[in-house]
Amino acid sequence: MSLITDRISLFDPQVRAIDLSQQKIKHISEGPEELYQQYIRFQEQFLEAQYTEFSNNPDHPRNQDYARIMVNGQEVASIDNNGFVTSSNAIGGRLHSLLAQENSSASGPALAEERAAKIAQLLGGTVEKSATALTPAAYQASTSAQTSVDYDALKADKRYARLQEIKEARSLFLAQNMGQNSTETGSDASASIDTIVLNTNLGTQAVDLASLFNPQPQSGPIDLMSVPLILPTADNIKALSQHGEEKFNALLSDYGIPEAPREISYDREGRLVLPDDYAYKDELTQALDENPTMARELSTIAAITSHYVGMNAISSPSGGYAKITLNFDKDGALSVRANGQDYDRPTSSETQQANKTYETASDRSDAEKWFLDYMEKTPEQRMFEAILREKGMTPEEYEALPPEQRAELEQEIQEEMKKRTLAEMGSEPGAKNEQFA
């Protein structure tokens, strides 16, 4: 076998062209999960950067140069302490391709150092560290600069629409694969009705909601890390809402209930709340009691929306927690709202722009950050927080309670945790199984 260094001529009779006519070109929506997620993450971050404005003084220490990349004595690119790269148009395309392959969790000066080394290697240059370069400690100690993202303009961008098309194509691709696997294994095709594609801690998966929301008791210990946890993402809220709308309207039809309530919400104890003037309040309550899978799906939609809204800092005008409602129009179409507005609206201000710090605008998405923080907690801490949120309270609000009140609530949650654990293990006859989102 010859090596490239042997300098074999392209005209050598032993050289054969690679036949690509039989090669199937795959769309990114059909690619491996890791590659797909990396592509989507980068495209979303790149698009958001196009609509981000910095309101701070350009002389802010974080905006000063971290390093310059020199080639043959000429500066070809510079990087500031945030890791942002500035270069000429001549090499912009090459740098864009390089940075598109990044999969780093670094930020600030650490990110700047990584990028400087990569660019210098790509261009065959050297890195000259600037006198204004900050250490990670100095960077963290400096005041965060504020940014504003014009989300309305971002969503009007054709590239945003294209990303949504890719996500829909991905969901269809996974669903088709799941259907094909079901056919090959002889599975019941009707089961696919309750199977939708969701973002979970185990990656994007086709999830059987019937099994998820109505788990069967198991004997022996349960590996919580193997259970798919539904992440609080806009895609999940949309997917669950679409599925929930169809199932909920079918439930109304089965029970002879002619119309849906204008809204469904949950109190701080996690109990269902229906409008007082809803004529079929008792009938719907009974229907949901007799169909716990449907009831859990609706409460899960509210729960993950509450998480999602919390991560995007949408609070009520009074500064309390956001009230999540599942709203139904006269045709039974479901929409999810936070404090009476679209849950996906970044803020309630007239400018409809979200203020974000450099930390929240870093390489990882908010959902990823939330999940990584979440996974650092023990299973007991996760269950405690899940029950706390079912009661309509955030961990911050819990910590702010008076000691006596906090101790009383802690005891109440501990009892509920014990009850649910026994039910999951099948050690408590007649106990209900609960699923946490």
Q: Give the helix/strand (H/E) hosting 397.
A: helix 395-399
- In whole angstroms, how far apart are CA 296 and each of 109, 240, 315? 45, 11, 25
| Domain-located, residue 339 | yes
Q: 387-414: per-residue pLDDT in tens?
A: 887 777 777 777 888 888 888 888 888 8
- Work out the pLDDT band at 355, boundaries 50, 70, 90: very low
Mean pLDDT of 142-167: 80
Inter-residue contact 191 to 346 (CB < 8 Å): no
Enumerate long-range contacts of 75-79, CB under 8 Å, 24 or more apart: 76/123, 76/125, 77/119, 77/123, 79/112, 79/115, 79/116, 79/119
Indicate the residue among 313, 345, 377 that finishes a domain.
345
| Domain-located, residue 251 | yes
Say whether 286 sits in a helix, a strand or coil: helix
Tokens of 312: 């995007």
For residue 281, is pLDDT > 70? yes
For residue 176, is pLDDT > 70? no
Least confident of 86-100, 150-164, 179-193: 179-193
Parallel/antiparallel/unpaired status of strands 341-342 and 334-338? antiparallel
Mean pLDDT of 273-286: 93
pLDDT for res 216: 64
- Work out the pLDDT band at 19, boundaries 50, 70, 90: low
- In whole angstroms, how far apart are CA 225 and each of 26, 47, 395? 31, 33, 22
Q: 202-256: per-residue pLDDT in tens?
A: 777 778 787 777 766 655 555 555 667 788 888 889 889 999 999 999 999 999 9
Range of the domain at 116: 56-144
Cross-strand partners of 198? 205
Count the Cβ atoms, other than its own, within 10 Å of residue 46: 13
Indicate the residue among 287, 316, 345 that finishes a domain.
345
The upper half-sphere exposure of residue 222, i.e. CA atoms within 13 Å in the direction of its Cβ, equals 17
| Domain-located, residue 392 | no
pLDDT for res 68: 94
For residue 313, is pLDDT > 60? no
* Percentage of residues in the chain having pLDDT higher than 70: 69
Average pLDDT, the chain: 75
Question: For the sheet containing 272-273, what is the strand order?
Answer: 272-273, 263-266, 324-328, 334-338, 341-342
Tokens of 97: 């391709």
Tokens of 51: 């609509």
pLDDT for res 357: 33
Inter-residue contact 304 to 244 (CB < 8 Å): no
| Domain-located, residue 429 | no
- Of 150, 165, 140, 174, nearest in space to 33 by CA: 174
State how far the Cα of 14 lies from the Cα of 370, in Å rounded to an integer: 56
Structural domain count, the chain: 2
Mean pLDDT of 120-133: 91
| Domain-located, residue 199 | no
| Domain-located, residue 335 | yes
Count the Cβ atoms, other than its own, within 10 Å of residue 135: 12
Q: How many helices (H) and strands (E) does the chain have?
A: 14, 14
Mean pLDDT of 8-12: 62
Place of tokens 């942002």: 84
Q: What pTM does this model have? A: 0.45
- Of 97, 103, 95, 94, nearest in space to 36 by CA: 103
For residue 317, is pLDDT > 50? no
56 vs 303, more confident:
303
For residue 290, is pLDDT > 80? yes
State how far the Cα of 234 lies from the Cα of 304, in Å rounded to an integer: 9
Indicate the residue among 302, 320, 345 that finishes a domain.
345
For residue 171, is pLDDT > 90? no
258 vs 420, more confident:
258
| Domain-located, residue 244 | yes
Place of tokens 């001549």: 90
pLDDT for res 285: 93
Residue 267 burial by CB count (10 A; 0-12/13-18/19+): exposed, middle or buried?
A: exposed
* Percentage of residues in the chain having pLDDT higher than 90: 17
334 vs 188, more confident:
334
To the nearest 10 degrees (0 to 180), the angle between helices 234-254 and 292-311 is 150
For residue 80, is pLDDT > 80? yes
